[in-house]
């Protein structure tokens, strides 16, 4: 019995040097969770916010009511997108270490979160990503050269050198701009979805944030507005256990699951194995159909693990066991889908290796092309005077004067 | 021509735009069924329906975020923040998102959002219903900042703001919602029907953003003001008995530097008046601009008359408010300098 007031300071189960311990992660057996009707009331499926939707069992066979029954060809496409995302991440991390780009953020271990979701949505649905959703870009067919040129801030950079690496956007691909201020995209996605409903369209919006930034007020704005207006939106919390150095307990994960915040707002909350491609696909498909039919929003918690550092500026060995990843109970999304396909007789280790080589060659070719458009430190480079453009649609006189001042300065320097 | 007070003028601007452009939506706390705590949106939901005029949760950050998302999806939201004093929860969404979306996406994405908010004191609102935070927003790159001083300008500028493809922060000085205010709270209220700018066309017209207006031509000195203070300055100039040129800025960003500086270069003297606090306020920018552009024409140091650098005190409103007596004193100071 508590006898006095106290301050509870959450502690992760393991620090550097400790044995990794993921006992706190509650896991349901694959196939054990029922798949409710699309139009179900949030209050009738509160258990889904606590249990975990899983399709792939320990032998990576697809089981249970959430099995989306995808064609093997579609699964192979998913595997390809996930592997391309991982190899792209690894290559870009190396280029950062070589000093070619200033900064990078890998999504290793979280590829299914983005790739499966993008494949379950329609191409005209609008995506509001966080900074670790590069799989969305890959799955929607974005050219790697476009992504690399952004990372390089070169003459082909979609952001014209105005954004740090990974803050991509893609209007024609219906992927919104990534903000460095966390969670801001969550309520914006709801507003976008409200507008779609106002206009009578059947496009929906989806957004992602990390469990850490679910502590921001924006998360709660998003849930409130989504619930109030029953907006056609899917709100995804990517619970990768770590927000830089603070574990998920510092975002409130010790007390309730993140999915459980949905039912509190009258929104279905579904907790899903984020490393299970089929489960992520199935849950996203369920939520998308619900939204498209006017049955309202869904909150999805994708339980996964941030295998890499937060960014190239971070060293996780300072705050968590170095080998913690090996103890992660939900495995590797790529290896699991690969095993699943092999079990179906639709894939092999040889094909996987051939695919890896093909994708690595593709990445290398894209990199070669991208650096020909310049790098952060070497030309060709953008005209610095372009920094004054797009502050407003039309440049006001005070900015034109500042631009001319800079131009004169650059001219006097002979650059 | 119809007579309107500023509330009716603002209402008429939204009415005209809701009718003209199906992309326009109006949203905010209490703006729908009830018509707004200041009645600025009265009747609009009845006329245009619940999908065009939306009551929202009490969450300013959510209101602006949702407006941004709607803007990205092709709507043209007019969001009301019930009091400017309540805008701070939305600050990140305005500064980091709304203001910079066009820039950070090199023009691919933008959101044409107008954010309306009543501002200013003189209504016994204390520190949470009286602030003039325009200087916080003028410091942000990528948003336009507008503050009208009359019903005619309010309607014309609000229509311009809604039609503008860039985000606009539209401040409504609530002390002059129902009539011009000369700074003396003991005098009976004067309605807008007594003022030429209370005549407001019923239909569509615009007052251009980024254009100041000389509301009184003169040669002795230039007094620069905006919002409520334009009327207080007019009274103070009458009291001081000087031939002042009064410049009503109307738009703070982008600033009409040409009109401001050509006036000061002509008169050689400048007094800057705003309700907001002084230190780091918008008056400091005006003063610096005038000094840079008009230095060789100045015959006296520039003076600022502003709110004191304290929170807005409820019980000492009229000691706080930069009323005619302080403006007259500043006018005397610049006129007496050699």
The closest alpha carbon to A164, from A184, A174, A175, A178, belongs to A178
Active site residues of B: 129
- B262 and B288: one domain? yes
- What's the pLDDT band for A182 if we cut at 50, 70, 90? very high
Inter-chain touch A163–B104, beta carbons under 8 Å: yes
Q: B267 with B220: CB under 8 angstroms? A: yes
Based on the fold, state whether residues B136 and B217 are members of the same structural domain. Answer: no
Q: What is the mean pLDDT of residues A15-25?
A: 97
Is the pLDDT assigned to residue B338 strictly greater than 80?
A: no
Q: Which residues of A touch B110 (CB under 8 A)?
A: 393
pLDDT value, residue A380: 78
pLDDT at A209: 98
Whether residues B179 and B242 share a domain: the answer is no
Residue B204 within a domain: no
With respect to residue B205, please indicate whether it lies within any of the assigned structural domains.
Answer: no
Question: Nearest-CA residue of chain A relative to B140?
Answer: A391
Whole-angstrom Cα distance, residue A30 to residue A66?
9
* B183 and B223 housed in the same domain: no
Which residue in B75, B110, B144 is closest to A195 by CB distance?
A: B75
- Residue A234 in contact with residue A200, Cβ under 8 Å? no
- List, as one string, the DSSP characters of A198-215: HHT----EEEEEETGGGG
Residue with tokens 């002795």: B220
Q: What percent of chain B has pLDDT over 90?
A: 99
Per-residue pLDDT tens over the stretch B120-156:
999 999 999 999 999 999 999 999 999 999 999 999 9
Query: In 3D, which of B116, B25, B118 has the Cα closest to residue B66?
Result: B25
DSSP state of A62: B
Which H or E run contains A243?
A: strand A242-243
Mean pLDDT in residue range A378-399: 94
Q: Using one digit for the tens of pLDDT, what is the confidence trace for A193-248?
A: 999 999 999 999 999 999 999 999 999 999 999 999 999 999 999 999 999 999 99
Residue with tokens 């592997």: A83
Distance CA A206, CA A176 (A): 10
Residues of chain B positioned with their CB less than 8 A from the CB of A396 = 210, 254
Q: Let me know whether B131 and B250 are in one domain.
A: no
Domain boundary among B166, B198, B230: B198
Distances (CA, A) of B64 to A283, A411, B130: 30, 42, 21
Percentage with pLDDT > 70 across chain B: 100
Q: Which residue range is the domain that position B177 belongs to?
A: 6-198
Report cis status (omega within 30 of 0) of the bond before A380. Answer: yes
B51 and B169 assigned to the same domain: yes
For B336, other C-beta atoms within 10 Å of its C-beta total 8
Indicate yes or no: CB of A221 within 8 angstroms of CB of B56.
Answer: no
Q: Give yes or no for a contact between B175 and B181, defined as CB atoms under 8 angstroms apart.
A: yes
- What tens digit of pLDDT does each residue of A34-59 get? 999 999 999 999 999 999 999 999 99
Task: With respect to residue B223, please indicate whether it lies within any of the assigned structural domains.
Answer: yes
The CB-based long-range contact list for B309-317 (8 Å cut-off, 24+ gap) reads B309/B277, B309/B278, B309/B279, B310/B277, B311/B127, B312/B121, B312/B125, B312/B126, B312/B127, B312/B130, B312/B131, B313/B126, B313/B127, B314/B124, B314/B125, B314/B126, B314/B127, B317/B121, B317/B122, B317/B124, B317/B130, B317/B185
CATH number, domain containing residue B145: 3.40.50.970
Do residues B52 and B192 share a domain?
yes
Alpha helices in B195-305 (DSSP H): 229-240, 257-267, 282-294
Q: Which helix (H) or strand (E) covers residue B14, if one does?
A: helix B6-20
Q: Is residue B242 part of a domain?
A: yes
Average pLDDT over residues B75-84: 98
Q: pLDDT band at residue B79, thresholds of 50, 70 and 90?
A: very high
> Is A379 a residue whose pLDDT tops 90?
no
B135 lies in the same domain as B98: yes
- Please report whether residue B289 resides in a domain: yes
B144 at interface of A, judged by CB pairs closer than 8 A: yes
Q: What distances in angstroms separate CA A311 from CA A89, A104, A213, A214, A276, one per listed residue?
A: 11, 6, 16, 19, 24
Q: Does A391 sit within 8 Å of B142, measured CB to CB?
A: yes
Answer whether residue B172 is part of any domain: yes
Percentage of residues in chain A with pLDDT exceeding 90?
96
Tokens of B277: 């606090």
In this complex, do B57 and A390 lie within 8 Å of one another by their Cβ atoms? no
Task: Provide the domain count of chain B.
Answer: 2
Say which residues have a Cβ less than 8 Å from residue B171's Cβ, sequence separation at least 6. Answer: B84, B117, B118, B119, B120, B132, B134, B145, B146, B147, B227
Dump pLDDT digits (tens) for B294-312. Answer: 999 999 999 999 999 999 9
Of chain A, the end-to-end C-alpha distance in Å amounts to: 73
- DSSP labels, A109-150: T-HHHHHHHHHHS-TTSEEE--TT-HHHHHHTT--HHHHHHH
Cα B285 to Cα B100, B227, B262, B266: the distances in Å are 22, 17, 17, 20
What is the model's pLDDT at position A1? 63
- Interval A54-95: pLDDT, tens: 999 999 999 999 999 999 999 999 999 999 999 999 999 999
Q: How far is CA B141 from the centre of its chain?
A: 18
Give ipTM to 2 decimals: 0.97
Same domain as B121, residue B230 = no
CATH number, position B240? 3.40.50.920
Same domain, yes or no: B96 and B66 = yes
B113 close to A (CB below 8 A): no
User: B75: which chain A residues are within 8 Å (Cβ-Cβ)?
Assistant: 195, 198-199
- Of B163, B198, B233, which residue sits at a domain end? B198
> What per-residue confidence (pLDDT) applies to A415?
60
A327 in Cβ contact with A22 (< 8 Å):
yes
B27, with CB counted inside 10 A (0-12, 13-18, 19+), is buried
SS (H, E, C) B164-227: CCCCEEEEEEHHHCCCCCCCCCCCCCCCHHHCHHHECCCCCCCCCCCCCEEEECCCCEEEEECC
* Cross-chain residue pair B68–A221, CB shorter than 8 Å: no
Residues B322 and B235 in one domain: yes
Q: Does a structural domain hold residue B189?
A: yes
- pLDDT reported for residue A414: 79
* B57, B90 contact by CB (below 8 A): no
CA distance linking residue B172 with residue B88, whole number of Å: 17
The single residue listed with the structure tokens 């929170």 is: B311
Q: Identify any residues that bridge with B251 across adjacent strands, giving them in sequence order.
A: B146
For residue B157, give both structure tokens: 């500028």
Percent of chain A with pLDDT over 70: 99
The one-character DSSP state at A273 is E
Report if residue B1 sits inside a domain: no
Pseudo-torsion of CA A143, A148, A149, A150, nearest 10°?
100
Separation between Cα atoms, residue A165 and residue A151, nearest integer Å: 4
Q: Are A252 and A212 in contact (CB under 8 A)?
A: no
Long-range Cβ contact pairs of A200-203 (< 8 A, separation 24 or more): A202/A232, A202/A292, A203/A122, A203/A124, A203/A125, A203/A126, A203/A232
| A185, pLDDT greater than 70 | yes
Confidence class for position A3, pLDDT limits 50, 70, 90: confident
Q: Where does a domain end: B171, B198, B225? A: B198
In this predicted structure, the answer to whether residue A2 has a pLDDT above a threshold of 90 is no
In 3D space, the residue among A241, A231, A198, A223 whose CA is nearest the CA of residue A329 turns out to be A241
Q: Is the overall model pTM greater than 0.90, yes or no?
A: yes
B143 φ/ψ sector (left φ>0, alpha ψ -120 to 50, else beta)? beta
Q: Is there a single domain that holds both residue B173 and residue B267?
A: no
Q: How many Å apart are CA A119 and CA A234, to the nearest integer?
A: 14
List alpha helices for A142-237, DSSP H. 144-152, 185-199, 217-229
Chain B residues near residue A232 by CB distance under 8 angstroms: none
Q: CB-CB: which of B59, B74, B109 is closest to A195? A: B74
Q: Which residues of B119-134 are buried (b: 16+ CB within 10 A; e: fewer)?
A: bbbbeebbeebbbbbb
Q: Is B210 on the interface with A (CB under 8 A)?
A: yes
Q: What are residue B205's phi and psi, to 5 degrees? A: -155, 165
pLDDT at B51 over 70: yes
Kindly report the average pLDDT of chain A as a whole number.
97
């Amino acid at each position: 019995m508590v006898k006095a007031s106290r301050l509870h300071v959450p502690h992760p189960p393991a620090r550097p040097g400790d044995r990794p311990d993921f006992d706190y992660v509650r896991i349901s057996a694959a196939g054990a969770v029922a798949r409710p009707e699309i139009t179900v009331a949030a209050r009738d499926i509160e258990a889904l916010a606590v249990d975990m939707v899983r399709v792939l069992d320990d032998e990576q066979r697809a089981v249970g009511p959430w099995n989306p029954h995808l064609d093997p060809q579609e699964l192979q496409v998913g595997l390809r997108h996930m592997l391309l995302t991982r190899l792209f991440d690894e290559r870009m991390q190396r280029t950062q270490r070589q000093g070619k780009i200033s900064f990078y953020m890998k999504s290793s271990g979280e590829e299914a979160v983005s790739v499966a979701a993008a494949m379950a949505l329609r191409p005209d649905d609008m995506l509001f990503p966080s900074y670790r959703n590069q799989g969305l870009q890959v799955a929607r067919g974005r050219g790697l050269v476009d992504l690399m040129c952004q990372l390089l801030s070169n003459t082909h950079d979609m952001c014209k050198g105005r954004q740090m690496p990974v803050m991509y956007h893609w209007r024609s691909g219906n992927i919104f701009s990534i903000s460095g201020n966390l969670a801001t995209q969550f309520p914006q996605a709801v507003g976008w979805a409200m507008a779609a409903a106002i206009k009578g369209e059947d496009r929906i919006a989806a957004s992602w944030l990390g469990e850490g930034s679910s502590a921001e007020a924006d998360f709660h704005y998003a849930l409130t507005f989504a619930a109030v207006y029953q907006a056609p939106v899917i709100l995804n919390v990517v619970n990768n256990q770590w927000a830089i150095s603070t574990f998920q307990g510092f975002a409130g994960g010790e007390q309730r699951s993140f999915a459980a915040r949905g039912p509190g707002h009258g929104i279905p909350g579904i907790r899903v194995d984020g490393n299970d491609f089929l489960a992520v696909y199935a849950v996203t498909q369920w939520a998308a159909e619900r939204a498209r039919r006017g049955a309202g929003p869904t909150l999805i918690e994708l339980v996964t693990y941030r295998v890499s550092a937060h960014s190239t500026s971070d060293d996780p060995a300072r705050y968590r066991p170095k080998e913690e990843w090996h103890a992660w109970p939900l495995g590797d999304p790529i290896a699991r889908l690969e095993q699943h396909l092999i079990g179906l007789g639709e894939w092999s280790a040889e094909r996987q290796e051939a695919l890896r080589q093909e994708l690595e060659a593709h990445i290398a070719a894209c990199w070669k092309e991208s650096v020909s458009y310049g790098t952060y430190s070497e030309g060709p480079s953008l005209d610095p005077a372009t920094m004054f453009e797009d502050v407003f649609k039309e440049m006001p006189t005070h900015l034109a004067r500042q631009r001319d001042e800079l131009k004169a300065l650059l001219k006097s320097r002979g650059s | 021509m119809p007579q309107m007070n500023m509330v009716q003028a603002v209402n008429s601007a939204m009415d005209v735009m809701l009718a003209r452009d199906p992309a326009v939506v109006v949203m905010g706390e209490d703006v729908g069924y009830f018509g707004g705590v200041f009645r600025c949106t009265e009747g609009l939901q009845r006329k245009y329906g619940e999908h065009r005029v939306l009551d929202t949760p009490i969450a300013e950050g959510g209101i602006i975020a949702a407006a941004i998302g709607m803007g990205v999806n092709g709507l043209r939201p007019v969001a009301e923040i019930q009091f400017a004093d309540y805008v701070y929860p939305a600050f990140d969404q305005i500064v980091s998102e709304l203001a910079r979306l066009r820039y950070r996406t090199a023009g691919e994405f933008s959101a044409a959002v107008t954010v309306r908010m009543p501002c200013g004191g003189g209504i016994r609102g204390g520190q949470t219903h009286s602030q003039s935070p325009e200087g916080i927003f003028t410091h942000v790159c990528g948003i336009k900042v507008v503050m009208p001083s009359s019903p005619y300008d309010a309607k014309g500028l609000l229509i311009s703001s809604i039609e503008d493809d860039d985000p606009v922060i539209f401040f409504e000085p609530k002390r002059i919602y129902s009539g011009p205010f000369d700074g003396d709270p003991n005098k009976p209220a004067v309605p807008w029907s007594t003022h030429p700018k209370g005549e407001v066309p019923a239909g569509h017209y615009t007052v251009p953003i980024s254009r100041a207006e000389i509301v009184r031509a003169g040669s002795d000195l230039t007094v620069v003001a905006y919002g409520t203070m334009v009327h207080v300055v007019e009274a103070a100039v009458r009291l001081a008995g000087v031939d002042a040129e009064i410049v009503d800025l109307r738009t703070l960003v982008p600033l009409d530097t040409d009109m401001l500086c050509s006036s000061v270069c002509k008169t050689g003297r400048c007094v800057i008046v705003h309700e907001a606090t002084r230190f780091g306020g918008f008056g400091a920018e005006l003063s610096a601009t005038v000094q840079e552009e008009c230095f060789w024409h100045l015959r006296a140091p520039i003076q600022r008359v502003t709110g004191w650098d304290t929170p807005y005190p409820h019980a000492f409103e009229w000691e706080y408010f930069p009323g005619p007596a302080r403006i007259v004193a500043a006018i005397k100071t610049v006129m007496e300098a050699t």
